[in-house]
Amino acid sequence: MKWYVGRFINGICLNDFEYVLDGKDGEPMEYPDKWEALEFLKNNTGEDLTALEYEEVYGYYIVDEDVVMPDVTRNVTRNVTRGIE
């Protein structure tokens, strides 16, 4: 199963999701498990939070491939990592 890190565009839950991009070809970064996705957030925010805390504090979600849009790249407009570096 693939996992992704994303947030709602402009923090509004009615908007589509935007995802952390890989920086190579602009595709969403894929993680083999949610723990690696969580580790990415910890390394890039400097915070040691749980996945639920990242949702509540930052609005960052760790989602699996069954939750993301069928065409995951459709609404990737910005590199989310800019907001957490």
pTM, rounded to two decimals: 0.72
Task: Read off the pLDDT of residues 11-45 as tens digits, 9 standing for 90 and up.
Answer: 676 667 888 888 888 888 999 999 999 999 999 99
Task: Quote the CA–CA distance of 8 and 30 in Å, as a whole number.
Answer: 18
- Mean pLDDT of the 41-56 span: 94
More confident site: 82 or 7? 7
More confident site: 58 or 76? 58
Domain-embedded: residue 73: no
Domain-embedded: residue 1: no
Structural domains counted in the chain: 1
Three-state SS across 38-57? HHHHHHHHCCCCCHHHHHHH
Which residue shows structure tokens 């890989």? 22
Cβ-based neighbour number of residue 80 at 10 Å: 22
Quote the domain boundaries for residue 50. 8-65+78-83
Pull the structure tokens for residue 17.
């999701």
pLDDT at 18: 85
Helix or strand or coil: residue 69?
A: coil
Domain-embedded: residue 70: no
Domain-embedded: residue 18: yes
| pLDDT tops 70 at residue 72 | no
